[in-house]
Structure 1
Amino acid sequence: MSTPPPPSSTPLPSSSSAPQPETQPQQQQQSQPQPTARPLPRFLENDPARTGYDPSLKWWMNYFKILAGQITPEGIEHYREDRYKANEARDCARCERDRDYLFQYSPVIRFLRDKVTALNGTLDASNVVCRRCPARVAEDGRVVRQGGGFSPDHGILICANEMRSRSHLEDTLAHEMVHAWDHLRWKVDWMGGHDLKHAACTEIRASMLSGECRWTRESITRGNWTLTQQFQNCVRMRAIQSVMARATCRGDVHATKVVNEVWDSCFADKRPFEEVYR
């Protein structure tokens, strides 16, 4: 989970008076040294001579160039971003329709909304917003992309251009709503200013409880047909990736170490659910 840019929406109030649970890592003292942040990745601008993708051409001409293998993987990502820009209004309208449907009919979304309301929070169309989220191609070829985000001050962002279906949106929204519940229930150090244990714990819980790591999605959508420890491996992997997105994380080794430190207690914490049922 990465913190989204501030949408124009109603803030989600914080219930900071709630006690710190035994399954949530304790904050370190202010006097402890701050971790050194990683340098931000450099992003590549499209160069038609290098990528083969020429934005001055019609979109269908570039599409046929992709089919013919005349555009590099980097160029395909630049093409994809330009198509997202062209279809932004359509994607956001579809996202908002699916969001409203889920708030009305989805059992998991309605359950989490009620639990957030019980902690004096509000999640509705005013602070669950659909926007186009730009993806960037890093210098090392890695594509930086997100499906959504939670901000304690602004609410939930759903990246409309990344949503493949209503079911995908349901998983993404449930993930961010678990973050919202954690924010209201406990005082979470979201960006890891003191340490990254809070971020690791809420990411473990969100991936575990949202349904995004269930076997059917892993196997059909991601092609992972592993039968042993598939669920645990998915939750761990996604938590590590999300912790790595924090500015204070020093890399994959650091993120893995932090996730492992809180794994046992946070993976066992199913609240506000009684069990993992998705």
Structure 2
Amino acid sequence: MATPHPPPTASFSSSSSSSSSSPREHPASQPNQQQQQQQQQTETSCPLPRFLENDPARTGYDPSLKWWMNYFKIITGQITPEGVEHYREDRYKANEARDCARCEADRAYLFKYSPVIRFLRDKVAALNGELDESNVLCRRCPARVAEDGRVVRQGGGFSPEHGILICANEMRDRSHLEDTLAHEMVHAWDHLRWKVDWSGGGNLRHAACTEIRASMLSGECRWTRESLTRGNWTLTQQFQNCVRARAIKSVMARPACRDDLHATRVVNEVWDSCFADKRPFEEIYR
């Protein structure tokens, strides 16, 4: 996803970051003035969800106990799903140094050996941008449990002012980190190539387009990832469905998005042109 949550010490800048494309170059992400005015009139900000604090009496999870005692309570069904998430978050805090060190080692490996990461880094450099260890940072990203039971977490983020954030505690392995980093690097390339409205306050079409492209080009929707990791064994339209679903989910995280129907409508509006746009690749690499 592209929701920016980077640490304040990162930086990402370029002399070409103010360049913009013409409507002919990217028609779907450049609505006309009338469309923009209509969208601004109809879009309203969603209230932020309320997040729950752990209550041992309600969840069964008691942080004062040894971790293995709480783990035993989990496998014996004595802790609620909400309590499991609070337990997971506390374990992430305890293992933060280990997770970040592993993430940084994998990041260095990918910058050196991954074809897709090296290719995207070179394409970003061609637009006078720079991505390296100074602005691609590994950090622990807190997860939160919303009042309606949803668990709000992220794998990474991109911010034009700061750079790329990789959520070390959410990375399953090096391959997962490669997909996440490639996703955010596509956002970085889009930022340098076009004027993208990252806030989405007046134009969610920009957010929808870059999310479609990032999910399509990063490899996170390839069939092996969907089938072996997510258990989706669909043989027809699997790739398109994955890209569409992940783009809708990311657009829903924008404050200007009202609900899933609003996000779906915006993604559908830009789908044809943005799904066909494989730049800076010549074809879908992974």
Are positions 1:200 and 2:208 aligned together?
A: yes
> Is the contact between residue 141 and residue 154 of structure 2 (CA under 8 Å) also seen in structure 1?
yes
Matched residue, 1:227: 235
Deviations 1:61-95 (CA, angstroms, capped at 9, x unpaired): 00000011100111000000000000001100100
CA deviation digits over 1:194-249, x for unaligned, max 9?
12000000000000000000000000000000001000000000000000000000
Letter in 2 for 1:100: A
Query: Does 2:257 correspond to 1:270?
Result: no
Is the aligned partner of 1:25 residue 2:61?
Answer: no
The answer for the alignment partner of 1:103 in structure 2 is 111
Worse-matched range after superposition: 228-237 or 26-35:
26-35
The question of 1:117 aligning with 2:125 is answered yes
- The residue type equivalent to 1:19 in the other structure is S
TM-score normalised by L of structure 2 = 0.94
Contact (CA 8 Å) 1:43, 1:136: kept in 2 or not? yes
1:17 is matched by which residue type in structure 2?
A: S
Alignment match, 1:3? 4
Contact 1:7–1:129 (CA under 8 A) maintained in structure 2: no
Task: Name the amino acid aligned to 1:175.
Answer: H
Note if contact 1:28-1:194 (Cα within 8 Å) is conserved in structure 2.
no
Counterpart residue type for residue 69 of structure 2? M
Deviations 1:172-194 (A, max 9, x none): 00000000000000000112121
Partner of 1:15: 17
Matched, 1:59 2:67: yes
Identity of aligned residues (%): 82
SS where residue 121 of structure 1 aligns?
A: coil
TM-score by length of 1: 0.97
Deviation at 1:24, TM superposition (A): 4.3
Q: Does the aligned pair in 1 maintain the 2:129–2:192 contact within 8 Å? A: yes
Q: Give the partner amino acid of 1:216.
A: T
User: Aligned residues, how many?
Assistant: 278
Q: Is the 8 A contact 1:192 1:248 kept in 2?
A: yes
Instruction: Give the counterpart letter for 2:187 in structure 1.
Output: H
1:69 correspondence with 2:69: no
Question: Secondary structure in 2 aligned to 1:96?
Answer: helix
RMSD: 1.3
- C-alpha separation between the residues in 1 aligned to 2:32 and 2:62? 51
Counterpart Cα distance in 2 of 1:209 and 1:195: 23
